[in-house]
């Protein structure tokens, strides 16, 4: 079952963006790139590594390198409890 994006963010998932550089199967001197995004858990990144395993098993173009970044969309510092009230006039 796939959860909604909001549910994933509340469970601690963040958006992971990865750029894959791979060699063309017929032209080994040519590097191509592929962009992948999904919600994932840092620091282990299970979905990213699952996709890398899929790539290595199913895609003919061998990987040259992978660059990725991770950003939590909802962080604990964004929520705070306000206990006071200011009356103006």
pLDDT digits (tens, 9 = 90+) for 45-77: 999 999 999 999 999 999 999 999 999 877 655
37-40-42 Cα angle (round to 5) = 125
Domain count, the chain: 1
Q: 29 is in which domain, residue-wise? A: 5-76
Q: Indicate whether 84 belongs to any domain.
A: no
Percent of the chain residues past pLDDT 70, beyond the cut:
87
Q: In 10 A of CB 56, how many CB atoms?
A: 10
Q: Indicate whether 86 belongs to any domain.
A: no
Q: Indicate whether 82 belongs to any domain.
A: no
Q: Indicate whether 81 belongs to any domain.
A: no
Q: Is 76 or 9 the better-scoring residue by pLDDT?
A: 9
Q: Give this prediction's pTM.
A: 0.75
Q: Indicate whether 88 belongs to any domain.
A: no
Cβ proximity of 40 and 48 under 8 Å: yes
Q: How confident is the model at residue 6 (pLDDT cuts 50, 70, 90)?
A: confident
């Amino acid at each position: 079952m796939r959860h909604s994006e909001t549910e994933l963010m509340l469970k601690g998932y963040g958006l992971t963006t990865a750029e894959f550089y791979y060699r063309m199967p017929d032209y080994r001197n040519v590097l191509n790139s592929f962009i992948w995004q999904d919600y994932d858990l840092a620091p282990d990144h299970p979905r990213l590594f699952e996709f890398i395993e899929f790539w290595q098993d199913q895609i003919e173009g061998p990987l040259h390198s992978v660059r990725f970044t991770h950003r939590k969309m909802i962080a604990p510092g964004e929520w705070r409890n306000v206990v006071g009230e200011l009356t103006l006039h």
